[in-house]
Amino acid sequence: MKKYALIGDHLSHSHSPFVHSEIFKDFNIEATYEKIECTIDELGSIINKLRTGEYSGYNVTIPYKLEVMKYLDEISPEALEIGAVNTVAYKDNKVIGYNSDYYGFYSELLYYNVEVRDKDCYILGTGGASLAVYKALKDLGGKVLFVSRNPKNPKTISYEELENRNIDVLVNATPVGMFPNVGVSPVKESIAKRAKYVLDLIFNPKETQILKDANSKMNGLCMLVLQAVKSEEIWQDMEYTNDRKELLERIERGLE
């Protein structure tokens, strides 16, 4: 039986094992998916377990989406362009990194009919997931900037500067508001209310404070499910042909 896993630091909040178990059913394959919490020093040895056949694939989450790249034999073009990896597979005797976050967020924007072209888009945070969000928004024609407490380049503004900007699309790519530290938001309520669309990459809790403030339902579960589908397509070398909307609704019901 093939074994897959999510690699990260603190993973108690993750729904990934359940999400992937549902996709395994649709692919009609027997496999397991677990969570592996590790330190940065353990990352290399865990990646090497792909070479021995102990594991068949990994997803990578906070805070290792950039760090994992140094342990790979090859990196796919989209992951190289983005500068982050969240899916790792062993193919042709090589450990290869991909970025399915990009596919997940791009597909989420289309799923929710978010207007992006020529719109003012802001991403809260500058971590690995935010890089995939940036490319998706740019590819859909958005005018995109990052928001950081310590802006260091022309593509980044401060939270203070955000207060005086027109905001069409606001994406929270920070862990602020994630379980168990719920009830807090990375921005003032007035900023969240002013944005036309607010999306949060966090999926636990289902409704974060920033989403409550904005009266938005666009949490990170949709992105999580759609990027998981892409990861499975990479690992299984198969196209997922089932209805993605039905899969998302089934997973939502299963998590209630």
Q: 21-77, pLDDT tens digit by residue?
A: 999 999 999 999 999 999 999 999 999 999 999 999 999 998 999 999 999 999 999
C-alpha torsion sign, points 106, 110, 111, 116:
positive
Q: 205-226, pLDDT tens digit by residue?
A: 999 999 999 999 999 999 999 9
Among the listed residues 65, 119, 135, 230, the single catalytic one is: 65
pLDDT greater than 90 at residue 128: no
Q: 135-162, pLDDT tens digit by residue?
A: 999 999 999 999 999 998 999 999 999 9
> 221: how many CB neighbours lie within 10 A of its CB?
21
Full set of structural domains in the chain with CATH: 2-99+222-255 (3.40.50.10860), 113-217 (3.40.50.720)
Beta carbons of 82 and 123 less than 8 angstroms apart: no
Predicted pLDDT of residue 67: 96
The reply to whether omega before 63 is within 30° of 0 (cis) is yes
pLDDT greater than 90 at residue 2: yes
193 labelled catalytic: no
Measured CA distances, 28 to 18, 56, 191, 202, 221 (Å): 15, 17, 45, 29, 23
User: What average pLDDT does the structure give for the chain?
Assistant: 96
Give the span between the Cα atoms of 95 and 151, in whole angstroms.
34
pLDDT greater than 90 at residue 256: no
From start to end of the chain, where are the E strands?
2-8, 31-37, 57-60, 74-75, 87-91, 94-98, 120-124, 143-147, 156-157, 169-172, 197-200
Name the burial class of residue 159, with classes exposed (0-12), middle (13-18) and buried (19+) by CB atoms within 10 angstroms of its CB: middle
Predicted pLDDT of residue 62: 87
pLDDT greater than 90 at residue 85: yes
Q: 154-191, pLDDT tens digit by residue?
A: 999 999 999 999 999 999 999 999 988 899 999 999 99
